C-alpha cells in the first residue's frame, strides 16, 4: 500500500511540475496565414502577436527566440492584471519595443489596475492604443488598416465606432481581446482577419475537453479568426494541454 501511495504522489508531483512548465514556457510559434485580397505591397508581413501576458515578465530569452525581422507587434489585451506593478509593465514594453512598433488593445484584466495611468505609460512608450479606433499603414500606394476594439468582455467595445474611424480604403485586420467580437461582423464590414486572445485555450484541458477551445486559425462566416492561447495565466500558475505561446504570423496574399 505504501508503494502505491508513493507512486500516486510521485505521479501527482510530476503532473503539477509539467503543468507549471507549460504555463511558463517561452515559446514563439510560427504561422503562415493566406488571405484573399491582402495587398501585394504588404505581402509577407510579419506580425509578432502576444496576448494575455498577465503577471509574466518578458526578457531577452524571448527576443533571442525571434530569428527574423518583425514588421509590427500586436498586444491582444490583458497586458496586466490586479497587483502587477507598472515597473514590470514598463520593462515588458521596453522588450517588445526592440522588435517593432507596438499596437495594443484593451483586455478585461487591464481595467483591474489604474487604466488611465496604464494608458499614459503606453503612449509615452510610443505604443499605439487602439480603443475603438483605427491605424492606417501605407506602402507603395496601398493601405493596411489595423482596427482595434476596446474590451468586449466589459461591453466597452464599439465595432460601429471602430468602422467609422476606418473610413479609408484598405485591407482590414481587426484586433479584439475577446474573440466574441466575430459575432458582430457582417459581410459588408470587409474584415479579412481577426486577432484575439482571452480564452487561454482553456488553460487547463483534459485532452480535447476544456472550458474554451484551443487557439489557432479558424474560419468564421465573414472573416478568418486567429486566437492565441496567450502567454500568461490567470488564477493558477498552471496549464495543461494549452501551453503558453506567442506567435510570428506571416501574412500572404492567397
| Separation between Cα atoms, residue 13 and residue 199, nearest integer Å | 26
Q: Quick one: 219 exposed, middle or buried, by C-beta within 10 A (0-12, 13-18, 19+)? A: exposed
**How large a percentage of the chain has pLDDT more than 90?**
82
The CA distances from residue 136 to 64, 164, 165, in Å, are 30, 13, 10
Looking at the predicted structure, is the pLDDT value of residue 7 above 70? no
The whole-number pLDDT of residue 232 equals: 95
Q: How confident is the model at residue 9 (pLDDT cuts 50, 70, 90)?
A: confident
Looking at the predicted structure, is the pLDDT value of residue 208 above 80? no
H/E run at residue 224: strand 224-227
- Residue 80 near residue 118 (C-beta atoms within 8 A): yes
> pLDDT tens digits for 14-46?
888 988 999 999 999 999 999 999 999 999 999
> pLDDT tens digits for 129-151?
999 999 999 999 999 999 999 99
SS3 242: coil
Mean pLDDT, residues 155-160: 97
- Which range is most confident: 37-41, 168-172, 205-209? 37-41
DSSP state letter for 55: T
Q: Which three cell numbers stand for residue 156?
A: 466597452
Domain count, the chain: 1
* Beta-strand relationship, 191-196 and 171-175: parallel
Query: Domain residues for 150?
Result: 2-253
Q: Which three cell numbers stand for residue 19?
A: 503543468
Q: Which three cell numbers stand for residue 115?
A: 487604466
> Bridge partners of 56?
none
> pLDDT tens digits for 86-107?
999 999 999 999 999 999 999 9
The whole-number pLDDT of residue 54 equals: 97
- Mean pLDDT, all residues of the chain: 94
CATH number for the domain including 180?
3.60.21
Q: Which three cell numbers stand for residue 43?
A: 505581402
Amino acid at each position: 500500500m505504501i508503494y502505491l501511495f508513493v507512486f500516486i504522489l510521485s505521479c501527482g508531483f510530476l503532473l503539477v511540475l509539467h503543468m507549471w512548465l507549460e504555463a511558463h514556457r517561452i515559446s514563439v510559434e510560427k504561422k503562415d496565414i493566406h488571405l484573399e485580397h491582402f495587398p501585394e505591397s504588404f505581402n509577407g508581413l510579419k506580425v509578432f502577436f502576444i496576448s494575455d501576458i498577465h503577471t509574466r515578465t518578458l526578457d531577452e530569452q524571448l527576443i533571442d527566440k525571434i530569428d527574423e525581422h518583425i514588421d509590427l507587434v500586436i498586444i491582444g489585451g490583458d497586458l496586466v492584471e490586479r497587483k502587477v506593478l507598472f515597473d514590470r509593465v514598463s520593462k515588458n514594453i521596453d522588450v517588445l519595443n526592440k522588435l517593432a512598433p507596438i499596437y495594443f488593445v484593451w483586455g478585461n484584466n487591464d481595467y483591474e489596475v489604474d487604466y488611465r495611468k496604464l494608458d499614459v505609460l503606453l503612449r509615452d512608450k510610443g505604443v499605439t492604443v487602439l480603443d475603438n479606433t483605427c491605424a492606417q499603414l501605407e506602402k507603395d500606394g496601398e493601405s493596411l488598416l489595423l482596427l482595434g476594439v476596446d474590451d468586449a468582455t466589459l461591453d466597452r467595445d464599439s465595432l460601429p465606432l471602430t468602422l467609422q474611424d476606418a473610413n479609408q480604403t484598405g485591407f482590414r485586420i481587426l484586433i479584439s481581446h475577446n474573440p466574441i467580437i466575430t459575432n458582430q461582423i457582417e459581410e459588408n464590414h470587409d474584415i479579412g482577419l481577426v486577432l484575439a486572445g482571452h480564452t487561454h485555450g482553456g488553460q487547463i484541458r483534459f485532452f480535447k475537453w476544456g472550458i474554451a477551445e484551443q487557439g489557432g486559425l479558424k474560419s468564421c462566416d465573414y472573416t478568418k479568426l486567429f486566437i492565441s492561447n496567450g502567454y500568461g495565466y490567470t488564477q493558477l500558475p498552471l496549464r495543461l494541454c494549452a501551453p503558453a505561446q506567442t506567435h510570428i504570423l506571416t501574412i500572404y496574399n492567397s
